[in-house]
Amino acid sequence: MANRRLVSLLSVQAGSKPGWPARLHVVTGKGGTGKTTVAAALALALASDGRRTLLTEVEGRQGIAQVFDTAPLPYQELRIASAPGGGEVRALAVDAEEALLEYLDLFYKLGRAGRALRRFGAIDFATTIAPGLRDVLLTGKVKEATTRTADGRRLYHAVVLDAPPTGRIARFLNVTAETARLAKMGPIKTQSEGVAAILRSPMTAVHVVTLLEEMPVQETADAVAELTALGIPIGKIIVNGTRPPVLAAGRISQAELRRGLAAAGLPTDRDTVAGLHGEAKAYLVRRRIEETLRGELAELGRPVVELPLLPEGVDRAGLATLAAALLAAG
Amino acid sequence: MLPDEAAYRLDVDAILADPGVRTVVCCGSGGVGKTTTAAALALRAAEQHGRRTVVLTIDPARRLAQSLGLVELDNSPRQVKGINGDLHAMMLDMKRTFDEVVLAHTDPRRAEEIFANPFYQAMSSTFSGTQEYMAMEKLGQLRSRDEWSLIVVDTPPSRSALDFLDAPARLARFLDGRMLRLLLAPARAGGRSMVNLVTASFGMFSKVVQRVIGAQLLSDLSGFVAALDSMFGGFRERAEQTYRILQDRETAFLVVAAPETDAVREAAYFARRLGEERMPLAGLVLNKVIEIEAPLSAEESLAGAAALAERGGHAATVDVLRVHAALVQQVVRQAAVIAEFRTAHPGVPMTSVAAQPSDIHDLDGLRTIGAALALPA
């Protein structure tokens, strides 16, 4: 069965980056935490030193194209960036319909008949009646890319999946197991089981991106619990948008602030002093919350990586900064 | 505020007070405070405008439950206690809603058959996508009961925010699909209705379907489809009805966003789609807007901090100045993002809520947000 093949693939852990041993890196996070940016930075990081990685997305959002500021991605693995040391990142927007046609073509040599299926509404049918089938096709394609070889060697050192958000991740990754249960035999069962096995093997790591805000941290904890219950391995907790803590001394009085401003040659009128004082107080409130949340994340028992806030927004240089931080944290 | 901004200020109170508005739909990408906005609007409608209000949330993270101080929500509206008005809240239970739809459209024996079908079990509880269908179904139910003066809907955290809009149309398209008819055909007319449709590609196709899906799954599937057949008319009719509700003038769409590039891009996309679908966009709600209190520029502030740091001493003031400078930089970036939206969508009314130092957990917090929504700075 597929197990022998799986075992041989599992033994190929060589060539992975220290601290990032998995081959399939699934990046999830609550909406708005920057998971697409982190996925892109991770694909860059893992491609350094002449490696090749594949960055994929499955939700039809064209998020990768937006991060790299390029035209919308086709259903093709195209080079999207080069990494230091001659490495390259390829990108792929997986489309369920295309994946189904490709799958049918591969196993049943459909050729042009596949197009006829589309006209017939069959593809629409297959991806609509069973949104689950859709997820099987999407994860199936990702698995295929992860395990693909060329000339007896893995084509990609690592595959990074910009996955659905935390609220849907367990359902998305478990759908293959669910389908395997549903289809008691036949190719769908084989396919689903193959995907489910990879997702539960050390080859896979699910990284959860969060901010130091209450809801993202809560959803991170929920997702870690759900995935753990499903036997899907958790990689790292990645905290995005962190700032170096300042005002270590805590409170500052308005009088003290006024003296400081005077010494700096800045205005010391009421608006300035009271305004700055108010901002400092709000900052301290937020920092205290952030410290509590850091503690909650640490309790999840997974390695935590912090990425800096990029005040200018994320451009190519910003991605490189994040990639370096991810590698350093490995 | 720009001089012309007053004219484009979203008047939240006018919407909430208008008896002609019966549904408010909050949409937008994840992580922008959609649920909090929906809850704050509902609370304000109930307390300030005396409307019998229900807020429907579809979020598995139970955020609404938390922000309303409730321990749990279930599939029927529950009264929110401790407020000065009539507010109910509920969280969508996707499986139960699906079960209710089945029961409403078929006899109990058939329903039992459907509930027992493994395909139904999987589709009604596990597979993504069902959530969007059921959210629309629940909205349709609430509207048809005529029990509520105002329904506030928080949309699902979809793969794309558009799934929510597309669900009714997709359901209708699916139910009308030729493929489904083909699967049903043998059950309906001993296979004879297929004759007209049979083409060379279909002959081969049915073989492929058999081989790919497998005979057992196919038989479960066609059992499921045949059992659902009796309810198709009802399903489609309801989906179309809900779609019309979304288009009618008693509905107001609010697009919720944070002033971040991604969220605003999604909001712009939404505004365009609503226009295309002839759905009434009432305005944009911008959450998490950074505000500064001190009239100092980032440059002044950083220069002052550098000068102080060089002199030594006043370490705390140096830090305060750096905190301020970082805020100003964020304000500048947010303003650019907002201006871009303005240019792309001139004339969309807008309101904003300042970034809160901590999350909203209680009714007082929601009241504060509601007041801020109604009275932008």
- Note whether A65 contacts B: Cβ–Cβ < 8 A: no
The answer to whether the CB of A227 falls within 8 A of the CB of A169 is yes
State chain B's mean pLDDT as an integer.
79
Query: Is A168 contained in some domain?
Result: yes
CATH of B3-165+242-292+343-374, one of 3.40.50.300, 3.20.20.10, 3.10.20.340, 3.30.450.20: 3.40.50.300
B295: chain A residues, CB-CB within 8 Å = 271-272, 275
The pLDDT value given to residue B320: 95
Cβ contacts of A259 within 8 Å, gap of 6 or more: B314, B317
- Note whether B343 contacts A: Cβ–Cβ < 8 A: no
The pLDDT value given to residue B125: 63
Does A273 or B183 have the greater pLDDT score? Answer: A273
A273: nearest CA in chain B? B294
Instruction: Kindly state the tokens that stand for B228.
Output: 């659902």
Model pLDDT for residues B60-106, shown as the tens digit of each residue: 445 557 656 556 657 788 888 889 999 999 888 878 888 888 888 78
Q: State the average pLDDT over residues A146-166.
A: 92
Question: Hey, which of A51-55, A215-219, B129-133, B352-356 has the most confident mean pLDDT?
Answer: A51-55
User: Is 80 exceeded by the pLDDT of residue A188?
Assistant: no
- Note whether B312 contacts A: Cβ–Cβ < 8 A: no
Cβ contacts of B286 within 8 Å, gap of 6 or more: B257, B258, B259, B338, B350, B351, B352, B353
Does A202 or B133 have the greater pLDDT score? Answer: A202
pLDDT bin (cut points 50, 70, 90) of residue B285 is: very high
CA distance B138 to B302: 54
What's the pTM? Answer: 0.82
| Residue A152 belongs to domain with CATH number | 3.40.50.300
The answer to whether the CB of B58 falls within 8 A of the CB of B154 is yes
pLDDT bin (cut points 50, 70, 90) of residue B191 is: very low
B127: nearest CA in chain A? A132
Percent of residues, chain B, with pLDDT higher than 70:
69
Interface test with A, best of B57, B179, B289, B334 (most A CBs within 10 A): B179
Instruction: Kindly state the tokens that stand for B212.
Output: 């790919």
Query: Is A279 contained in some domain?
Result: no
Interface test with B, best of A97, A134, A276, A292 (most B CBs within 10 A): A276
> Which has the minimum average pLDDT: B13-22, B116-125, B330-339, B362-371?
B116-125
Q: Tell me, what amino acid is at B366?
A: L
The pLDDT value given to residue B160: 54
Residue for token pair 């050729």: A111
Please enumerate, as own/partner, the contacts of B137-145 that have beta carbons within 8 Å and a separation of 24 or more.
B137/B97, B137/B101, B137/B238, B137/B242, B138/B56, B138/B92, B138/B97, B139/B23, B139/B56, B139/B242, B139/B245, B140/B238, B140/B241, B140/B242, B140/B245, B141/B100, B142/B54, B142/B56, B142/B77, B143/B22, B143/B23, B143/B245
Cβ contacts of A15 within 8 Å, gap of 6 or more: A51, A154, A157
User: Is 60 exceeded by the pLDDT of residue A130?
Assistant: no
pLDDT bin (cut points 50, 70, 90) of residue A106 is: low
Instruction: Kindly state the tokens that stand for A19.
Output: 């601290």
Model pLDDT for residues B1-15, shown as the tens digit of each residue: 444 556 688 999 999
Domain that holds residue A156: 2-245+302-329
Does B261 or B338 have the greater pLDDT score? Answer: B338
Comparing CA positions, the residue from A113, A179, A122, A107 lying closest to residue B212 is A107
Angle at which helix B298-311 crosses helix A254-263, to 10 degrees, equals 90
The pLDDT value given to residue B297: 94
A278: nearest CA in chain B? B293
CA distance B40 to A263: 45
User: Is 70 exceeded by the pLDDT of residue A123?
Assistant: no
The pLDDT value given to residue B236: 67
Cβ contacts of A75 within 8 Å, gap of 6 or more: A92, A93, A94, A95, A98, A99
Query: Is A163 contained in some domain?
Result: yes
> Which has the minimum average pLDDT: A265-269, A316-320, B69-73?
B69-73
Query: Is A284 contained in some domain?
Result: no
Residues in chain A: 330
- A173 backbone φψ class: left, alpha, beta (φ>0; ψ -120 to 50): alpha
3-state secondary structure of A103: helix
Cβ contacts of A326 within 8 Å, gap of 6 or more: A20, A38, A41, A42, A45, A238, A305, A307
Where would I find the beta strands (DSSP E) of chain B?
A: 23-27, 53-57, 78-79, 87-91, 150-154, 251-257, 281-289, 350-354
pLDDT bin (cut points 50, 70, 90) of residue A162 is: very high
The pLDDT value given to residue B45: 97
The pLDDT value given to residue B192: 37
User: Is 70 exceeded by the pLDDT of residue A264?
Assistant: yes
The pLDDT value given to residue B331: 92
CA distance A85 to A74: 27
The answer to whether the CB of B55 falls within 8 A of the CB of B152 is yes
Model pLDDT for residues A165-177, shown as the tens digit of each residue: 898 899 889 877 7
A188: chain B residues, CB-CB within 8 Å = 212-214, 217
The pLDDT value given to residue B217: 62
Query: Is A293 contained in some domain?
Result: no
Q: Locate the domains of chain B by residue range.
A: 3-165+242-292+343-374
Cβ contacts of A238 within 8 Å, gap of 6 or more: A27, A29, A38, A207, A208, A209, A210, A304, A305, A307, A326
SS3 content of chain A, % helix, strand, coil (to 5): 50, 15, 30
The pLDDT value given to residue A292: 94
For B235-276, give the DSSP string: HHHHHHHHHHHHHSTTEEEEEEE-SSHHHHHHHHHHHHHHHH
- A84 backbone φψ class: left, alpha, beta (φ>0; ψ -120 to 50): beta
Q: Tell me, what amino acid is at B347?
A: G
Cβ contacts of B375 within 8 Å, gap of 6 or more: none
CA distance B361 to B334: 26
Contact A311 B326 (CB under 8 A): yes
The answer to whether the CB of B82 falls within 8 A of the CB of B46 is no
Contact B214 A289 (CB under 8 A): no
The answer to whether the CB of B150 falls within 8 A of the CB of B52 is yes
pLDDT bin (cut points 50, 70, 90) of residue B350 is: very high
- Note whether B262 contacts A: Cβ–Cβ < 8 A: yes
Q: Tell me, what amino acid is at B108?
A: P
Instruction: Kindly state the tokens that stand for A208.
Output: 């959860």
Tell me the three-class secondary structure of B360-376, residue by residue: CCCHHHHHHHHHHHHCC
The pLDDT value given to residue A246: 85
Query: Is A324 contained in some domain?
Result: yes
The pLDDT value given to residue B289: 94
Q: Tell me, what amino acid is at B152?
A: V
Does B229 or A217 have the greater pLDDT score? Answer: A217
Domain count within chain A: 1
Model pLDDT for residues A4-53, shown as the tens digit of each residue: 444 444 434 456 778 899 999 999 999 889 999 999 999 999 999 899 99
Chain-centroid distance, C-alpha A284: 31
> Which has the minimum average pLDDT: A287-291, A307-311, B284-288, B354-358?
B354-358
Q: State the average pLDDT over residues B42-47.
A: 97
Cβ contacts of B191 within 8 Å, gap of 6 or more: B185
The pLDDT value given to residue B186: 47
pLDDT bin (cut points 50, 70, 90) of residue B110 is: confident
Q: Are strands A78-83 and A87-93 parallel, antiparallel or unpaired?
A: antiparallel
Comparing CA positions, the residue from A69, A109, A114, A116 lying closest to residue A91 is A69
CA distance B230 to B251: 31
- Note whether B327 contacts A: Cβ–Cβ < 8 A: yes
DSSP state of A59: S
CA distance B357 to B288: 10
The answer to whether the CB of A245 falls within 8 A of the CB of A287 is yes
pLDDT bin (cut points 50, 70, 90) of residue A190 is: confident
- Note whether B215 contacts A: Cβ–Cβ < 8 A: yes
User: Is 70 exceeded by the pLDDT of residue B184?
Assistant: no
Q: State the average pLDDT over residues B256-281.
A: 87
B359: nearest CA in chain A? A214
- Note whether B296 contacts A: Cβ–Cβ < 8 A: yes
The pLDDT value given to residue A315: 86
The pLDDT value given to residue B104: 81
User: Is 50 exceeded by the pLDDT of residue B28?
Assistant: yes
Contact B357 A286 (CB under 8 A): yes
The pLDDT value given to residue B72: 62
Backbone phi, psi, residue A252, to 5°: -135, 140
DSSP state of B82: S
Chain-centroid distance, C-alpha B346: 24
B293: nearest CA in chain A? A275
Cβ contacts of A26 within 8 Å, gap of 6 or more: A161, A163, A169, A173, A204, A205, A206, A207
Query: Is A275 contained in some domain?
Result: no
CA distance B12 to B27: 15
Residue for token pair 């492929």: B208
> Which has the minimum average pLDDT: A130-139, B206-215, B365-374?
B206-215
Q: State the average pLDDT over residues A194-204.
A: 92
Helix (H) or strand (E) holding B131: helix B130-145
Residue for token pair 């429907």: B56
User: Is 90 exceeded by the pLDDT of residue B19?
Assistant: yes
Does B305 or A152 have the greater pLDDT score? Answer: B305
The pLDDT value given to residue A178: 72
> Greatest CA separation found in chain B?
93
Q: State the average pLDDT over residues B140-159.
A: 84
Instruction: Kindly state the tokens that stand for A81.
Output: 């960036």
pLDDT bin (cut points 50, 70, 90) of residue A1 is: very low
Chain-centroid distance, C-alpha B194: 40
Does A134 or B192 have the greater pLDDT score? Answer: A134
Contact B324 A117 (CB under 8 A): no
CA distance B121 to B99: 10
Does B207 or B185 have the greater pLDDT score? Answer: B207
User: Is 60 exceeded by the pLDDT of residue B128?
Assistant: no
Comparing CA positions, the residue from A317, A330, A329, A328 lying closest to residue A81 is A317
Which ipTM score applies to this complex?
0.78
The pLDDT value given to residue A8: 42
Percent of residues, chain A, with pLDDT higher than 90:
55
The answer to whether the CB of A263 falls within 8 A of the CB of A248 is no
Chain-centroid distance, C-alpha B312: 53
Backbone phi, psi, residue A20, to 5°: -130, 65
- Note whether B159 contacts A: Cβ–Cβ < 8 A: yes
The pLDDT value given to residue B242: 79
For A107-166, give the DSSP string: HH--TTHHHHHHHTTHHHHHHHH-HHHHHHHHHHHHHHHHH-EETTEES-SEEEEEPPPH
User: Is 70 exceeded by the pLDDT of residue B295?
Assistant: yes
The pLDDT value given to residue A227: 96
User: Is 50 exceeded by the pLDDT of residue B195?
Assistant: no
Model pLDDT for residues A79-103, shown as the tens digit of each residue: 999 988 889 999 999 987 788 777 7
User: Nearest CB to B126: which of A178, A266, A275?
Assistant: A178
